Amino acid sequence: MTDLPDDTTLTETGADLRCGAGRILLIACGALAREILALIRINGWDHMDLQCLPAKLHLYPDRIVTAVDDAVTRNRDHYERIFVVYADCGTGGLLQAKCDALEVEMIPGPHCYAFFEGNDAFAAHAEDEITAFYLTDFLVKQFDAFVWKPMGLDRHPELRDMLFGNYTKLVYQAQTDDPALVAKARDCADRLSLEFEYRFTGYGDLATALERQAKVT
């Protein structure tokens, strides 16, 4: 499998890492590309191919359903099985319904924040953290592209209170142990005038879900 492009490319265009040798195709969000590729390499899952759709689709959740539909339809005749590595991601159940109609599985959970921490663990304290704003490794690195600029804060910083006035803290869910990312995440919290909490999650349920798929014969 070839190396990944940079995070800006993963945001804007995604990455086609299909080599044609895999029996299983993972159709995933570009924001998960590095974590998925790391798991594939660590575990030697050379029977898996990866195609990542643009991470920026999260800015328009309705487009995720269409993009996944197109990707599954284009590839289904070339693989024994396809697994969709998206959670619900703001589609209001429409992505699950589409995957059911296409007869492909998808990773369970409301969003990546839940499955990185573990869906059960996240659900257990969700009500206590309704004022938390979450970032992952990818979103820390792409904070400007996903938060600062789309919300207009680069042009109108006075919007911060209106957009984030009901939040109390920023929770950085770290997939890797990287002091530079911790510092950047802390800066993101400062820019939003939020308290900062570091929470190392690793790969969480993502690793479990992919391991389960890798073992299916």
Average pLDDT value for the chain:
94
Residue 57 and residue 123 in one domain: no
Structure tokens belonging to residue 37: 């590729």
Residue 79 and residue 170 in one domain: no
| Residues sharing a CB contact under 8 Å with residue 156, sequence separation 6 or more, in sequence order | none
Residue 62 and residue 83 in one domain: yes
Tallying the residues shown for the chain, one arrives at 217
Instruction: Give the C-alpha separation, 87 to 73, whole Å.
Output: 19
Residue 82 and residue 127 in one domain: no
Q: Which helix (H) or strand (E) holds 105?
A: strand 105-106
pLDDT reading at 2 higher than 80: no
162 neighbors 151 (Cβ within 8 angstroms) = no
Per-residue model confidence as pLDDT tens digits over 204-213: 999 999 999 9
- Reported as a pLDDT band with limits 50, 70 and 90, residue 4 is confident
Distance, first Cα to last Cα, the chain = 21
Residue 97 and residue 125 in one domain: no
Q: Which domain holds residue 153?
A: 119-200
Structure tokens belonging to residue 66: 């269409």
The pLDDT value recorded for residue 22 is: 75
Instruction: Give the C-alpha separation, 182 to 197, whole Å.
Output: 10
Residue type for 94, please?
A: L
Residue 146 and residue 159 in one domain: yes
Residue 15 and residue 96 in one domain: yes
Residue 160 and residue 185 in one domain: yes
Cα 24 vs. chain centroid, distance in angstroms? 19
- Report pTM: 0.93
The pLDDT value recorded for residue 5 is: 85
Per-residue model confidence as pLDDT tens digits over 141-178: 999 999 999 999 999 999 999 999 999 999 999 999 99
